[in-house]
Amino acid sequence: MELSLSKEDTAFRDEVRAFVAKNYPPEMRVPNPETDLTKEQSLLWHRILYKKGWVAPLWPKEYGGPGWSITQRFVFEQETSRAGTLPPLAFGVTMVGPVIYTFGSEAQKKQFLPRILSGEDWWCQGYSEPGSGSDLASVRSRAVHDGDHYIVNGHKTWTTLAQHADWIFCLVRTDPAAKAQAGISFLLIDMKTPGVTVRPIITIDGSHEVNDVFLEDVRVPVANLIGEENKGWTYAKFLLGNERTSMASIGRSTRYLNRLKQIVKAEIPEDDPALGEFIRDIARVELDVLALEATELRFIAQMSRGIDPGPAASLFKIRGTEIFQCITDLTHRAIGNYGLALREHPASANIFMPGPEYSQTASEKYLNSRKLSIYGGSNEIQRNIIAKAVLGL
Amino acid sequence: MDIQLTEEQEMLRDSIQRLLRDQYDFDARRKIVATEDGWSRKRWTAFAELGLLAAPFGERAGGLGGGLLASMIVMQEFGRRLVVEPFLETVVLAGGLIEEVGSQAQHEEYLPDIMAGEAIWALAWAEGRSRYDFHKVATTARRRGDSYVLNGAKAAVIGAPWADKLIISARTSGEPRDRSGVSLFIVDSHSVNLHLQSFKTIDGRRAAEITLKEVQVPASALLGKEGEAVASLEACRDRAIAGLCAEAIGAMAELNSATLEYSRTRKQFGVPLGTFQVLQHRMVDMFIALEESISLTQHLNLALAANEPQGSKLASGAKAKIGYAARFVGEQAVQLHGGMGMSDELNVGHYLKRILAINIQFGDPAYHLMRFAGAN
């Protein structure tokens, strides 16, 4: 489905399409980019976009954004995801960047924004803690004033790609007496500071994407506090809003759906009764994608007219993740007996995997995608949000 | 209908539970899976000493005469502990086939070693293009004098890297999709020109792709009647399904109790997770899924043990219904454990992975749903 684009927007779409086709690094086209690339490899595309001035579509021009309209941003997102590119790491560009230019000091803007754009600093997110889950406000990590420093102690978990990170943005408790949401502050911490330790968490798909991050007597300059002390919750919520709207992932679902159709065609013979099952299931998901995409386009159109979808945006997280889980499930089922195999990590070790090329990441994709309905506020929490904030229940 | 275990069966269950409690907690299992071989001969010997490997075989063959219900009891407990050792492959599949269609000489030659824990077996029926159908066999076996010569490839053979002996299906006549003309052969896994490529499975086991180039076996390696393997394999599958369903309910029971326990202790927004109604209802559905699965598993095992004519159709029905139920329970157990459910350190994800493998072994729920409906 396409937006009805103006002449200028059509020209822009063609420009983006041509740029991606010409410049996306072939070495980033590996079976599973999220887990198979080295830090340097995964930054290649980031740097190309940076040179072009396209790395941060969301950012205002004065901070280095391209100054695109909402429609242009959408077109860019659609083109790059349809082409199967690995987007620049969200933690810097999409998450902490906007927090810094919206709530940060001039010095912070100068220090951090250019390095986020260039890819010099790799950021990770210090929100979750053991026992906190979707209840982020229950944060227990403590930051105590000591002259012009905070002394931070705590334990962050599920920290994505912290093994590569130069910086971590953290929610910490600065006022233990205050109620849950009050008393939280938003701190930027250099990962090289003494007392910061990263421990890998291996997930059920066998990959190392997430980590525990331990903070023991970590000295953080007060200058690294975002905005005001004890107001961190406001900034955190602002950031989460950005996170949820980007979770419809239509481009990714469309790509995997097309691949699924090819796999079914190759794997399941015409006379197999299972073929009918797959055709029906695939048609259902295709309609789910179509409906979600139409909803996204409708919301985009509203936003261009200045109407904020607000908490209804949670529906993109819910449906986007459920759709993708359904596609990875169908793909795993489509490959039959080869679904028994699970690729070993690291992928660079070149360990024998049976079956056709398209079958080799099906197990890990299915397993990895179980996280989608859990992280970023579980889908149960998203439904609570809509029930409360949209339906008024 | 609720199976009332006999005193003997109760003893069997108790002894397995004791053994697994002492030697097969999750940490021990993790260490076994991480070894070079990926299974424990020591545990296998312990299973043999306890009589588990002899339990299902008939007394005439030297077994303890426990039949399918003995297998069901073993598999259910193995499901609870995620045992990786090839009980299904060696005892239920190979042992069952030899006992059912093997000659007296084959009984005498092979069954004592299986029951004593001295031989590991695997069954190689699938091929790259076969999906879940036994008759789609392109591997050939040509008669040459007093021997057969095998050529072809078998796919995703669970337990093959551990096996001393393989049972291989190959075509002795007809076209690659004919129902008749498929035969079974007992082949030494170290045979000349038999090549294994091993890989790890999603549930922590080992499997292999097998290629056969002019592999010669004596005529006495033929298991069952020439050309009639599809029917033997279908009966074998029914018994396998009975065991796999029992294993699935063992895994589901553990998942449900772990999830329930977690939801009672884990707090969110200041209250235990279990106080949220949406999660309560989810856990009620998980409970119902398990209850129905237990009933169907018992129903199936009794029907097969009594040789009821509808047994095979019921096996497919149970494989479908329990497959969907187990998957629901597995996925929801991960979901309700939140991030912890995604962690390799917790056992929950490993149960989900075993359930995924169970669902693929001998045909997924969609395949068996269609077979139950009479479509294939």
The CATH number of the domain holding residue A303 is 1.20.140.10
- Residue A220, domain extent: 123-230
Confidence band (pLDDT; 50, 70, 90) for B117?
very high
Of A135, A366, A374, the CB nearest to B339: A374
Q: Identify whether residues A292 and A386 lie together within a single domain.
A: yes
* B176 CB burial (10 A radius; 0-12, 13-18, 19+): middle
What pLDDT, on the 0 to 100 scale, is given for residue A63? 96
User: Is A342–B198 a contact, with Cβ atoms under 8 angstroms apart?
Assistant: no
Q: Identify whether residues B171 and B183 lie together within a single domain.
A: yes
CA angle A38, A43, A46 (to 5 degrees): 155
Instruction: Please say if A364 is a catalytic residue.
Output: no
H or E segment at B348?
helix B348-360
Choosing from B187, B209, B227, the residue where a domain stops is B227
Q: At a CB cut-off of 8 Å and minimum separation 6, what does B337 contact? A: B258, B259, B262, B346, B348
Average pLDDT over residues B233-240: 98
In a domain, A39, yes or no: yes
Q: Identify whether residues B337 and B218 lie together within a single domain.
A: no
Residues of chain A with pLDDT under 50: none
Q: Identify whether residues B252 and B366 lie together within a single domain.
A: yes
Look up the CATH number of the domain holding residue B38: 1.10.540.10
> What is the C-alpha radius of gyration for chain A, rounded to an integer number of angstroms?
22
Number of domain units in chain A:
3
The answer to whether B266 faces chain A, any CB pair under 8 Å, is yes
Question: What is the Cα–Cα distance from B307 to B309, expressed in whole angstroms?
Answer: 6
> Are B240 and A379 in contact, with CB atoms under 8 Å apart?
no
Number of domain units in chain B:
3
Q: Identify whether residues A314 and A270 lie together within a single domain.
A: yes
Q: Which residues pair with A126 in a beta bridge?
A: A170
Q: Identify whether residues A267 and A358 lie together within a single domain.
A: yes
Q: Identify whether residues A192 and A256 lie together within a single domain.
A: no
HSE of A61, CA atoms in CB hemisphere, 13 A: 3
* A270 CB burial (10 A radius; 0-12, 13-18, 19+): exposed
Question: What is the Cα–Cα distance from B358 to B318, expressed in whole angstroms?
Answer: 12
Q: Identify whether residues A206 and A330 lie together within a single domain.
A: no
- Residue B35, domain extent: 7-120
What pLDDT, on the 0 to 100 scale, is given for residue A244? 52
In a domain, B1, yes or no: no
Closest C-alpha among B357, B307, B374 to residue B88: B357
- Which of B199, B345, B348 should be substituted to probe chain A, the one whose Cβ sees the most A Cβ atoms within 10 Å? B199
Q: Identify whether residues B212 and B98 lie together within a single domain.
A: no
> Are A118 and A102 in contact, with CB atoms under 8 Å apart?
no
Confidence band (pLDDT; 50, 70, 90) for B224?
very high
Q: Identify whether residues A143 and A53 lie together within a single domain.
A: no
* A230 CB burial (10 A radius; 0-12, 13-18, 19+): middle
In a domain, A141, yes or no: yes
Q: Identify whether residues B193 and B245 lie together within a single domain.
A: no
Of B334, B339, B357, the CB nearest to A128: B339
Choosing from B206, B227, B248, the residue where a domain stops is B227
Choosing from B96, B120, B144, the residue where a domain stops is B120
Closest C-alpha among A264, A306, A300 to residue A281: A264
A376: its two tokens: 């970023």
User: Is A133–B356 a contact, with Cβ atoms under 8 angstroms apart?
Assistant: no
User: Is B131–A203 a contact, with Cβ atoms under 8 angstroms apart?
Assistant: no
**Helix (H) and strand (E) counts in chain B:** 13, 10
Of A273, A340, A342, the CB nearest to B158: A340
Cα B352 to Cα A7, A159, B62, B255, distances in angstroms: 51, 23, 37, 9
What pLDDT, on the 0 to 100 scale, is given for residue A322? 97
> Are A196 and A189 in contact, with CB atoms under 8 Å apart?
yes
Question: What is the Cα–Cα distance from B148 to B157, expressed in whole angstroms?
Answer: 21
Q: Identify whether residues B89 and B107 lie together within a single domain.
A: yes
> Are A35 and A207 in contact, with CB atoms under 8 Å apart?
yes
Cα A231 to Cα B10, B60, B77, distances in angstroms: 62, 79, 53
pTM of the predicted model as reported, rounded to 2 decimal places: 0.95
> Are B293 and B248 in contact, with CB atoms under 8 Å apart?
yes
Question: What is the Cα–Cα distance from A49 to A93, expressed in whole angstroms?
Answer: 12
Question: What is the Cα–Cα distance from B174 to A153, expressed in whole angstroms?
Answer: 73
Q: Identify whether residues B364 and B237 lie together within a single domain.
A: yes
* B190 CB burial (10 A radius; 0-12, 13-18, 19+): exposed
> Are B259 and B337 in contact, with CB atoms under 8 Å apart?
yes
What pLDDT, on the 0 to 100 scale, is given for residue A31? 86
Distance from CA of A127 to the nearest CA of B (A): 13
Q: Identify whether residues A373 and A262 lie together within a single domain.
A: yes
Q: Identify whether residues B171 and B111 lie together within a single domain.
A: no
User: Is A204–B344 a contact, with Cβ atoms under 8 angstroms apart?
Assistant: yes
pLDDT in tens, B172-221: 999 988 999 999 999 999 999 999 999 999 999 999 999 999 999 999 99
Output the DSSP codes for A305-352: TT---GGGGHHHHHHHHHHHHHHHHHHHHHTGGGGGB---SSGGG---
Q: Identify whether residues B209 and B252 lie together within a single domain.
A: no
The answer to whether B200 faces chain A, any CB pair under 8 Å, is yes
Outline where DSSP puts E strands in chain B. Answer: 121-124, 140-144, 147-158, 165-171, 182-188, 194-200, 206-218, 222-223, 267-268, 271-272
Q: Is A162 helix (H, G, I), strand (E, B) or coil?
A: helix
What pLDDT, on the 0 to 100 scale, is given for residue A246? 62
Taking CB atoms and an 8 Å cut-off, how many pairs form between chains A and B? 132
What pLDDT, on the 0 to 100 scale, is given for residue B1? 55
> Are B373 and B313 in contact, with CB atoms under 8 Å apart?
no
- Which of A340, A367, A368, A369 should be substituted to probe chain B, the one whose Cβ sees the most B Cβ atoms within 10 Å? A340
Question: What is the Cα–Cα distance from A122 to A90, expressed in whole angstroms?
Answer: 10
Q: Identify whether residues A337 and A251 lie together within a single domain.
A: yes
In a domain, B35, yes or no: yes
User: Is A157–B339 a contact, with Cβ atoms under 8 angstroms apart?
Assistant: yes
HSE of B199, CA atoms in CB hemisphere, 13 A: 24
Question: Which residues in chain B touch residue A210, judged by CB atoms under 8 angstroms apart?
Answer: 342
Choosing from A203, A230, A257, the residue where a domain stops is A230
Question: What is the Cα–Cα distance from B248 to B82, expressed in whole angstroms?
Answer: 10
Question: What is the Cα–Cα distance from B152 to B49, expressed in whole angstroms?
Answer: 38
Q: Identify whether residues A366 and A254 lie together within a single domain.
A: yes
A163: its two tokens: 């093994």
pLDDT in tens, B255-294: 999 999 999 999 988 899 999 999 999 999 999 999 999 9
In a domain, B279, yes or no: yes
> Are B306 and B312 in contact, with CB atoms under 8 Å apart?
no
H or E segment at A120?
none
Q: Is A247 helix (H, G, I), strand (E, B) or coil?
A: coil
What pLDDT, on the 0 to 100 scale, is given for residue A1? 52
Q: Identify whether residues B101 and B131 lie together within a single domain.
A: no
Q: Identify whether residues A183 and A67 lie together within a single domain.
A: no
In a domain, B13, yes or no: yes
In a domain, B221, yes or no: yes
Region label for B185, one of left (φ > 0), alpha (ψ between -120 and 50) or beta (otherwise): beta
- Position B375 pLDDT exceeds 70: no
Q: At a CB cut-off of 8 Å and minimum separation 6, what does B317 contact? A: B296, B368, B372
Q: Identify whether residues B237 and B367 lie together within a single domain.
A: yes
Look up the CATH number of the domain holding residue A169: 2.40.110.10
Percent of chain B with pLDDT over 90: 96
Cα B271 to Cα A128, B274, B284, distances in angstroms: 18, 8, 19
Distance from CA of B355 to the nearest CA of A (A): 11
Look up the CATH number of the domain holding residue B161: 2.40.110.10
Closest C-alpha among A15, A19, A117 to residue A60: A117
Q: Identify whether residues A50 and A131 lie together within a single domain.
A: no
- Which of A132, A139, A201, A204 should be substituted to probe chain B, the one whose Cβ sees the most B Cβ atoms within 10 Å? A204
Q: Is B341 helix (H, G, I), strand (E, B) or coil?
A: helix
What pLDDT, on the 0 to 100 scale, is given for residue B285? 98
Q: Identify whether residues A216 and A272 lie together within a single domain.
A: no
In a domain, B2, yes or no: no
In a domain, B259, yes or no: yes
In a domain, B328, yes or no: yes
Residue that is written with structure tokens 């190959």 in the block:
B170
Looking at residue A180, its amino acid is A
In a domain, A117, yes or no: no
- In eight-state DSSP terms, residue A87 is P
Q: Identify whether residues B312 and B332 lie together within a single domain.
A: yes
